[in-house]
């Protein structure tokens, strides 16, 4: 066992890890990391929101992982890694959490409004447009372990349904702010979601980034991940560019 690991929580029926797992394992081999895929549930939340997948809270099993590893890279299963990706642990000071903020573009107002609802639920100080990160790619050290400890108050909030959407990510943001964890902001290439391909960000192609996150892709997710997986696999195998041919021409212009 090494001191650093990728931790993936793969609980439920939609196994997007069929595409992400091979690339994550190659990344681990390149940088000497352990790959840990959690398949068992630790919680049994039954909230009042019938349209929400409460298995998402299994991501808080990172608490146990941080008893075994000094640092972890917590990834969602719908993240593909490019061979161009550097060792992300080298990008983030050990004293900090490494995240990509997503309160930008057309998501900003919705995220801040949800967090004001969370603040009311916990009877805490207002959110006041504090920065909001996406929890699909997180570099975390053991010193941040308590952020992932679900307290009785957290559990009541989860089952109350008053955490906005996405509930587990909102709770994680709240706990990080309340704990006063120092944050190291990673640039969008370490967590390229659909929003970062929009015009306000210069419309870069997702395959020009290091970590491609298919959050919010809805029904197209599996098809898009499958197509991009084979492009990235070829890049890992042969050093080919994963970018479509027209994007490569744009780069040469």
Say how many domains are in the chain: 1
Residue pLDDT, tens place only, 164-179: 889 999 999 999 999 9
Rounded to the nearest angstrom, the gap between the alpha carbon of residue 197 and the centroid of all alpha carbons in its chain is 17
Residue pLDDT, tens place only, 105-147: 888 898 999 999 999 999 989 998 899 999 999 999 999 999 9
Sign (positive/negative) of CA torsion 80, 83, 88, 89?
positive
Q: How far apart are CA 68 and CA 65, in angstroms?
A: 5
Residue pLDDT, tens place only, 43-94: 988 877 888 889 999 999 999 999 999 999 999 999 999 999 999 999 999 9
- CB atoms under 10 Å from CB of 94, counted, come to 12
Residue pLDDT, tens place only, 14-30: 678 999 999 999 999 99
CATH number at residue 96: 3.90.550.10
Range of the domain at 46: 4-252
Least confident of 109-118, 141-150, 226-235, 244-253: 244-253
| pTM of the predicted protein model | 0.92
Return the closest-CA partner of residue 201 out of 92, 102, 97, 113. Answer: 102
Residue pLDDT, tens place only, 44-53: 888 778 888 8
Residues 6+ away with beta carbon under 8 Å from 135: 59, 74, 76, 99, 168, 169, 172, 173
């Amino acid at each position: 066992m090494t001191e650093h690991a990728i931790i993936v929580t793969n609980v439920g029926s939609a196994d997007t890890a069929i595409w992400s797992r091979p690339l994550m394992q190659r990344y681990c081999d390149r940088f000497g990391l352990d790959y840990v895929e959690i398949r068992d549930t630790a919680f049994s939340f039954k909230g009042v929101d019938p349209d929400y997948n409460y298995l998402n809270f299994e991501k808080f099993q990172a608490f146990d992982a941080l008893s075994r590893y000094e640092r972890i890279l917590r990834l969602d299963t719908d993240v593909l890694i490019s061979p161009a990706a550097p060792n992300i642990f080298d990008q983030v000071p050990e004293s900090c959490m490494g995240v990509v903020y997503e309160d930008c573009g057309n998501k900003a107002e919705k995220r801040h409004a949800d967090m004001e609802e969370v603040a009311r639920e916990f009877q805490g100080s207002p959110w006041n447009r504090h920065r909001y990160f996406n929890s699909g790619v997180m570099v975390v050290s053991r010193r941040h372990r308590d952020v992932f400890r679900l307290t009785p108050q957290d559990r009541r909030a989860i089952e109350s349904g008053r955490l906005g959407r996405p509930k587990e990510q909102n709770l994680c943001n709240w706990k990080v702010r309340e704990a006063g964890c120092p944050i190291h902001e990673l640039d969008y290439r370490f967590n390229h979601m659909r929003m970062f391909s929009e015009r306000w960000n210069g419309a870069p192609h997702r395959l020009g980034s290091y970590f491609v996150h298919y959050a919010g892709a809805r029904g197209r997710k599996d098809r898009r991940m499958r197509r991009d997986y084979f492009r990235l696999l070829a890049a890992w195998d042969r050093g080919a560019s994963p970018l479509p041919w027209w994007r490569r021409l744009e780069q040469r212009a």
